[in-house]
Amino acid sequence: MLYIGVDLGTSAVKLLLMDEKGEIKNIVSKEYELLFPHPGWSEQRPQDWVSAVKEGIKELVKDADKSQVAGIGAGGQMHGLVVLDKDDNVLRPAILWNDGRTQGETDYLNNEIGKDKLTEYTGNIAFAGFTAPKILWMKNNEPELFDKIAKIMLPKDYINYVLTGVHCTDYSDASGMLLLDVKNKKWSKEMLDICSIIEEQMPKLFESYEVVGTLKKDVADELGLSENVKVCAGAGDNAAAAIGTATVGAGACNISLGTSGTIFISSDKFSVDDGNSLHAFDHADGKFHLMGCMLSAASCNKWWMEEILKTEDFAGEQAPISDDKLGHNHVYYLPYLMGERAPHNDPYARSCFLGMTMDSSRADMTQAVLEGVAFGMRDSLEAAKAMGIKVEKSMICGGGAKSPLWRKIFANVMNIELTIPETEQGPGYGGAILAAVGCGEYASVDEAVKKLIKVTGSTKPEPELAALYEERYQTYRKLYPALKGLFTEMKG
């Protein structure tokens, strides 16, 4: 049988066709427009997603035996606000995860409702990217549209609605709305009241691997597929990507070194860290996970290379950074180009270099960028360690992980073994696996990933180098607290 995985990203949708053995048969990408109607705002038209997905699926399966397509599963950009009226028409462009307009609403939730209450209701505190602050922003700034809201959805859930006619979401994606009681897997009555909405406006909740429906006849006819094709609930992009890297079971870990950076730790039990540094979310395997998210990871290197050094020769710039230089760099870099989420939750944090001298070289600066991102990700690992969670090794994926040098730096900064998945197709691969489970190809997500996910190599820490990076990390972690006050002063 064949399964379609959908990765609904911020700049494009990436679709893949997978067989029951996990082999990728075809991949198609379709881009769509990102809208910036005001400084700091970020929006998209949901209809653009629908058009891209439909055209992409038709192209994806045009040379396949369409009768073998059994299921569809999506991983999608999280936190985005999609609002429908009573006739299921989209009321306004979707407000995306990286939209910055809701700082006032976020501060209201954290400071006036209170972080303790938010944690009690949802397991998390408010971040500007989350969905609940966006709803409050609509209430405060677009009251006429707010009053017309009949359904509140997330980006990939709108795609599932168009395919099946079912208003649905899954627990992993819903966890990032700040409207879900994550521990008890139900909508939080208290949070709905705070946002002046009711449960009838929320979609039905499903586990990620559960089937929400089958293709509507008109959609099936348009795509050239059977009406019997099952659509599973899918997952938020990070949870879906974690399925695609076998990050399932207590203590399993995945580090994603993409535009943003995440450390994703799966767990059998629900838990919250003391400082709310990590997101405490439901996982796509039916259990839980902790996640630390850096807003700028590989994008720091891209910025440094393309905007500052004016080069696209990333490997060439890394070539002078020989093994003997690792752990000895005197330059530090703070990776806060867009503010920071984990562990500081500070939209005013900014990037900077520290420690330069007259003999600081171009290579030293490049090395500092690579090390600074690794140190920033270690902050989230330390928050997990403080909860008693043991992480002995981790998968690593994303564009930045293709650099052997950066993998070596990460392995020694984290002081854990890093493994590389054979197939790295991100949320789309995880979505296809979830669809296979939903269609009964595998009895559980755990069984599926054990059979499908293979490792092709690993990078292990070196005791002496790890000790050098330990000393440097202890200096690094003092830098943000020392500069925080200045960042706040500079925000104007």
Question: 303-349, pLDDT tens digit by residue?
Answer: 999 999 999 999 999 999 999 999 999 999 999 998 898 888 888 89
pLDDT on residue 181: 98
- 27 close to 96: Cβ distance less than 8 angstroms: no
Question: 212-236, pLDDT tens digit by residue?
Answer: 999 999 999 999 999 999 999 999 9
Question: 453-464, pLDDT tens digit by residue?
Answer: 999 999 999 999
Residues in CB range of 12: below 8 A, 6 or more apart: 29, 30, 31, 32, 52
Catalytic residues, which ones?
Answer: 237
The token pair at 175 is 């966890």
- Domain locations in the chain as residue ranges: 2-239, 246-422+462-492
Q: Binding residue per annotation — 328? A: no
pLDDT on residue 423: 83
Q: Is the pLDDT of residue 393 over 80?
A: yes
**Angle (deg, nearest 10), helices 463-476 and 404-414:** 80
CA 442/CA 255 separation, integer angstroms: 26
pLDDT on residue 313: 97
Phi, psi of 133 (to 5 degrees): -60, -30
Q: Is the pLDDT of residue 289 over 80?
A: yes
Strands 43-44 and 94-95, how do they pair?
antiparallel
| CATH topology match: 2-239 vs 246-422+462-492 | yes
CA 383/CA 102 separation, integer angstroms: 26
Q: What is the mean pLDDT of residues 33-52?
A: 95
Q: What is the mean pLDDT of residues 126-146?
A: 96
Q: Which parts of 63-107 are beta strand (E)?
A: 69-76, 82-84, 94-95
CATH architecture, domain defined by 2-239: 2-Layer Sandwich (3.30)
Where does the pLDDT of residue 259 fall: very low under 50, low under 70, confident under 90, or very high at 90 and above? confident
pLDDT on residue 492: 59
**Which amino acid is located at 405 in the chain?**
L
pTM score above 0.95: no
Q: Is the pLDDT of residue 25 over 70?
A: yes
Q: What is the mean pLDDT of residues 16-23?
A: 96
- 374 close to 286: Cβ distance less than 8 angstroms: no
Q: What is the mean pLDDT of residues 104-122?
A: 96
- 380 close to 254: Cβ distance less than 8 angstroms: no
CA 457/CA 455 separation, integer angstroms: 6
Where does the pLDDT of residue 274 fall: very low under 50, low under 70, confident under 90, or very high at 90 and above? confident
Where does the pLDDT of residue 258 fall: very low under 50, low under 70, confident under 90, or very high at 90 and above? confident
Question: 404-448, pLDDT tens digit by residue?
Answer: 999 999 999 999 999 999 888 889 999 999 999 999 999 999 999
Place of tokens 């290579």: 363
- 67 close to 20: Cβ distance less than 8 angstroms: no
- 122 close to 188: Cβ distance less than 8 angstroms: yes
The CATH code of domain 246-422+462-492 reads 3.30.420.40
Q: Binding residue per annotation — 79? A: yes
